[in-house]
Chains A and B, each alone.
Chain A
């Protein structure tokens, strides 16, 4: 049963804010992880080439 009443805006606002915060955290985590992994792979490749 999907019930929203006079508090619809309040509930939707709470969900929107939470989803934005969680989404930003997940995006930041994954993008930093990818960036650092790429940089480390490149650095290790450079190291292997020098050897």
Chain B
């Protein structure tokens, strides 16, 4: 059995229908448990006070904002190379989720920044690259809506996605390239000396896994909607 079999819309619909309930339950349970653990059961930080609790929303959302674009990059490349419609529709389906994640990351970062940095916003490398990523997300969706022929739209949005990937990667590594920004280094690291204390790390990990599963759940639902929408348009155009 090949992975490409699931590029067939009928097979994709059948498989996604089977796994969606499990994904939805797992994502809800993990995200709610992680947020409850982080909000109610962790202490205030000695420097940041209770604002440290914002990390349980900010970091998972920021991770997903970047990784949603990278998922769109992979599916766009699959479309450009192998012309599988499901992959192009999956990329389109992921964009609104990416926008929401980027907005949450920017908003929670700004709210945290006011008491900690003394400002809601600074033209810091990571903040600026996130703002550019947000503009790319809106541009990507606008391009889908602006072009009537769906295959042409998929071609052009895939190209835009490749260009935007530079900013997605930049927003991930900006703090490593330029050290003059306000934004601190990564909160999570494979090096135990560098990442946050386990008191915060474990609930954060649960929130991240929950957010990844929520992303997958929503991408599957939205891709199924896009496939149905295409079929609906096709049936209407045929006039039957």
Which residues on A are within 8 Å of B, measured CB to CB? 1-8, 10-11, 13-15, 17-18, 21-22, 24-26, 28-30, 32-33, 36-37, 39-40, 43-44, 46-47, 50-51
A36 cross-chain contacts in B, Cβ below 8 A: 225, 228-229, 232
**A33 pairs with B224, CB closer than 8 A:** yes
Please tell me if the beta carbons of A8 and B50 are within 8 angstroms of each other in the complex: yes
Chain A's closest residue to B99 (CB) is A25
Docked-complex contact B57 and A15, CB < 8 angstroms: yes
List of B residues within 8 angstroms of A18 by Cβ = 57, 61, 104, 107-108
* Bound Cα distance from A47 to B96, whole angstroms: 32
Name B residues whose Cβ lies closer than 8 Å to a Cβ of A.
39-44, 49-51, 53-54, 57-58, 61, 96-97, 100, 103-104, 107-108, 111-112, 114-115, 214, 218, 221-222, 224-225, 228-229, 231-232, 235-236, 240
Whether B50 and A14, one on each chain, are in contact in the complex, defined by CB atoms closer than 8 angstroms, is no
A1 proximity list for chain B (CB < 8 A): 41-43
Instruction: Out of B50, B96, B114, B225, name the residue touching A4 (CB < 8 Å).
Output: B50
Q: Which residues of B contact A47 (CB under 8 A)?
A: 235, 240
| B111–A13 touching, CB < 8 Å | yes
Q: Which residues of B contact A13 (CB under 8 A)?
A: 111
Contact residue among B96, B114, B214, B232 (Cβ-Cβ distance under 8 Å from A39): B232
Are A10 and B218 CB-contacts (below 8 A) given A33-B224, A43-B236, A47-B235? no
CB contacts between A and B, total, < 8 Å: 99
- Assuming the contacts A4-B50, A17-B107, A18-B107, asked whether A25 and B236 have C-beta atoms less than 8 A apart, the reply is no
List 13 A-B pairs, Cβ < 8 Å. A5-B49, A5-B50, A10-B112, A11-B50, A13-B111, A14-B57, A17-B108, A25-B218, A29-B221, A37-B225, A40-B231, A44-B235, A47-B235
B57–A50 touching, CB < 8 Å: no
Name the one of A3, A7, A39, A51 contacting B115, with C-beta atoms under 8 angstroms.
Answer: A7
- When C-beta atoms are compared, the residue in chain B nearest to A4 turns out to be B50
* Those 5 A-B pairs whose CB atoms lie nearest each other, nearest first: A25-B100, A14-B111, A3-B44, A33-B225, A14-B54
Contacts of B42 in A (CB 8 A): 1
Residues of A within 8 A of B49 (CB): 5-7
